[in-house]
Amino acid sequence: MLEDWFASEHEYALKGRHIVSNDILPLLKKLPIAFKVNKIGASFLKNDIYKVSIGKGSQRILIWTQMHGNESTGTKALFDLFNFFSREHKLSVVADKILRNCTIVCIPILNPDGALAYTRVNAQNIDLNRDVIDKKAVESRILQDLLKEVDPHFCFNMHDQRTIFSVGKANNPATLSFLAPSTDVERTLTEGRKQTMAVIMSMHNLLEKCIPNQIGRYTDEFYPTATGDNFQKMGHNTILIESGHFKGDYSREETRKFTFYALLQGIDYISDVPKSILYKDYFDIPNNEKFYLDIILKNVDYKGKSTDVGFLFEERLEGGQLYFIPKIEKEGDLSNYNADKTIPGHTLSFSDENKLIDWVKNEIN
């Protein structure tokens, strides 16, 4: 039923990887009256930053997207969620229950300057996800001011991850990965982390039915300057969602669907309090590995020897158009790796890197 809803009702106006403020402004203006839309500040380059609020329940949830400007899948999924709350449908009973029990506050596109330039960092070259202590960036201060205002029980920190991340023995792509951040170097299993893990397990269990063996877990090493780790430490249970690769889906339209599923399921789970905290299976989610590539050229004669060559794409914005440029990532026996595309190379020979890369560019275009 959810898949049928998504097929007809997801936000068609948002597509592709390069999502900027001008893409979402018309959609914010069209939101129904139940949504409260407010400007809450401006970026370093004076691009407006907005918050969107919906619901009237006691469970307070804060969601932000595009903290890294070139990570837009969460933004698309967030507007799919807005559509879910905006329209009558067969699952309206779920939407109504959530909005009775939860107050949801969102920042779609926290880093509008980075979104325009399609960069991870903001216009000051600051990684907002490592600026929680210093707060050098105005965007970081805006997020933390809203955190104090909302005082959320749960946060959803939305990111994208590169193609290289894999999961499982077959090295499937990590289409989604989750993390319940640590609060200290000992990775203490606090009650807050248990609650976070329980939400993640509810999302994981749904997604395993859709994309089995494509859900990963990040290492919970403590990062002293990371947003999620510090928000978790402050008592705001923070779920990190990393949207990754689905085979053939370089626009991340399939991934945005599963990100929407995860977000809706996590919020629905939170709305059903109180409940027992079922968290222990979180540790059975396979760790993210790095055994997936965009292209593997098998058994190619390269610089006088037969070898495998693996490529990752560099995403490059030129003239408003996003290009995927192949770059050599690995050479040697890549039998332990999987890839979006594997090409037999036993009839091919290349004397230098430039000729090899030019051939791959022609092959994929």
Q: Where are the domains of the chain?
A: 2-284, 292-364
Query: Does a cis peptide bond (omega within 30 degrees of 0) precede residue 274?
Result: yes
363: pLDDT strictly greater than 90 = no
pLDDT value, residue 276: 67
365: pLDDT strictly greater than 90 = no
Cα separations in angstroms, 195 against 157, 167, 190, 279: 16, 24, 9, 7
275: pLDDT strictly greater than 70 = no
Question: pLDDT tens across 125-171, in order?
Answer: 999 999 999 999 999 999 999 999 999 999 999 999 999 999 988 89
Question: pLDDT tens across 242-264, in order?
Answer: 999 999 999 999 999 999 999 99
The DSSP secondary-structure symbol of 309 reads E
Residue predicted with more confidence, 274 or 286: 286
Question: What gap in Å lies between CA 290 and CA 286, rounded to an integer?
Answer: 12
Question: pLDDT tens across 54-66, in order?
Answer: 999 999 999 999 9
Contact (CB, 8 A) for 11 and 80 = yes
Class for domain 2-284, per CATH? alpha beta
For residue 270, the SS3 value is: helix
The DSSP secondary-structure symbol of 183 reads S
* 156 CB-side CA count, 13 A: 31
**Whole-number mean pLDDT of the chain?**
96
299: pLDDT strictly greater than 80 = yes
